[in-house]
Amino acid sequence: MPNTAPVAGLGQAGTQHYENFPVASWLCPPALRPAILAIYQFARCADDIADEGDASAEQRLQELGQYRHALNACLAANNPPVRRWAEVFVPLANVIAQHQLPAPLLNDLISAFEQDVRYTAQGRRYRDHAELLDYCRLSANPVGRLLLHLYGVNDRPSLERSDQICSALQLINFWQDLSVDLPRQRHYLPSDQLLARGVDPARLTPDLHSDAAAEALVASLCQQARTLMLAGAPLALQLPGRAGWELRLVVQGGLLILDRAATLQHRTWHTRPRLRAWDLPRLLWRAARMTAA
């Protein structure tokens, strides 16, 4: 499911649910915390519909369709939120009214969950990096754009850099979580790169300690994510105050996960790279040293 939180526990949501963005962390602008929490709750509930319990794919898609209907009712002018999921849509309606959230971004998030359900049910895999990025456009990029909207930032260069950061975070999470996703037969390894390097994902089990071709594959994917992250990183220096520092930590958290993957020789199907609470001083130091270069 959509998930881009390599810095969970260090300013982001908990690790068991939807984690695409900082949620009321100690750096989040206090005035925006209710709005951010309302968006988070909206995404988390959709995540639960798509991923929790024993429902069939058809049932999940039907439920997500009803969830989208509830969202559109919430977005409609002078239309009170539906009673179902009131704990989600009552606060979201207030945020929409106060901040005029762009409706397409909220709908895109539901589309990402629907796509995940369909792909899982059909056993489909992503063909290449371009198709993965198109998925990130629905699953991750809307979150960054919603946050920028709350911050009053809407110029094209900033939006593009936000997309780069969010897509990078999504990809980092994919490669970070291979040891979790592969046993569930739900992974995002692009088919063209698997074929080119002769890697069979069925062989990538926790018992496999070393595989040169798989290590090279993960290293290449991590480098693509790093390139995206570095391209978008200047946005963290543009945002003022708490918002800028929050984004600096998000960027540096993602980069540190990539560093950890490299330390593991990119065998992330065997061991999951992660950050700990004691990494916070290092992240703060890295964030403070960020420059436009």
> Can you give the pLDDT at residue 6?
38
Instruction: Say how many residues make up the chain.
Output: 293
State the pLDDT at residue 78: 62
Q: What pLDDT, on a 0 to 100 scale, did the predictor assign at position 26?
A: 59
Per-10-residue mean pLDDT, the chain, length 293: 40 38 60 91 92 90 95 79 84 93 96 94 92 95 94 95 96 94 90 96 89 96 97 93 89 95 96 89 90 64
> CA dist 214 to 31, 33, 123, 245, 267, Å?
46, 41, 21, 35, 8
Indicate the domain borders of the chain: 22-124, 125-293
Burial of residue 124 (number of CB atoms within 10 Å: 0-12, 13-18, 19+):
exposed
Topology annotation, domain 125-293: Farnesyl Diphosphate Synthase (1.10.600)
Q: Given this model, what pLDDT does residue 24 score?
A: 39
